[in-house]
């Protein structure tokens, strides 16, 4: 047993915005000397795809700031019109770049480089008829018991 601190994270969301918290926290904790594990389950598995296609949607998210005060004059239903999701995703990605925020690909790479252990939920892989080939190399597949093996001796556990 090492005296390294441990951080265990469960990542359940598969949108561009929610991809950030687990990866930012994991990479930073690793830089601070933590041993880190992330368990990706349900939609969180999207973060492990070799070809990332993460989107963000204003639909059902009144907290999302929209450009040109669109949220002020757009009816709620307007956020559901076709194309809105890709427009918002495009704008978000542009902002991310402009503000010097890391891309999800970069953050994920930094996590792997820092030996953050990533575990994909095998049950979800089966449930959604996914294939191991769709995912990046260097990850493991396991279930809830695998998560608890590490989480049980962690100093911090987070559910995102």
Contact positions toward another protein, by CB under 8 A? 24, 27-28, 31-33, 99-102, 110, 114
Work out how close the CB of 101 gets to another protein at its nearest, in angstroms, rounded to a whole number. 5
Smallest separation (angstroms) from another protein to the CB of 5: 9
Q: Which is nearer to another protein, 26 or 125 (CB)?
A: 26
Of residues 102 and 139, the one with the C-beta less far from another protein: 102
Cβ nearer to another protein, comparing 105 with 140 = 105
Minimum distance from residue 107 beta carbon to another protein (Å): 8
Please write down the HEC assignment for all residues of the chain: CCCCCEEEEEECCCCCCCCHHHHHHHHHHHHCCCEEEEEECHHHHHHHECCCCCCCCCCCCCCCCCHHHHHHHCCHHHHHCCCHHHHHHHHHHHHHHHCCCCCHHHHHHHHHHCCCEEEEEHHHHHHCCCCHHHECCCCEEECHHHHHHHHCCCCEEEEC
Please state the closest distance from residue 91 (CB atom) to another protein, in A: 17
Contact between residue 119 and residue 140 where contact means Cβ atoms under 8 Å apart: yes
Nearer to another protein, 28 or 57 (CB): 28
């Amino acid at each position: 047993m090492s005296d390294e601190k441990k951080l265990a994270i469960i990542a359940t969301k598969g949108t561009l915005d929610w991809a950030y918290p687990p990866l930012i926290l994991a990479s930073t904790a690793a830089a601070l000397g933590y041993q880190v594990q992330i368990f990706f389950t349900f939609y969180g598995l999207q973060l492990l795809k070799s070809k990332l296609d993460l989107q963000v949607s204003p639909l059902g998210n009144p907290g999302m700031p929209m450009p040109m005060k669109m949220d002020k004059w757009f009816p709620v239903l307007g956020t559901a019109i076709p194309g809105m999701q890709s427009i918002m995703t495009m704008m978000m990605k542009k902002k991310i770049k402009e503000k010097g925020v890391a891309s999800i690909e970069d953050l994920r790479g930094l996590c792997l480089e820092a030996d953050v252990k990533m575990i994909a939920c095998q049950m979800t892989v089966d449930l959604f008829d996914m294939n191991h080939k769709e995912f990046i190399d260097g990850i493991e597949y396991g279930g809830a018991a695998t998560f608890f093996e590490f989480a049980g001796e962690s100093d911090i556990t987070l559910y995102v």
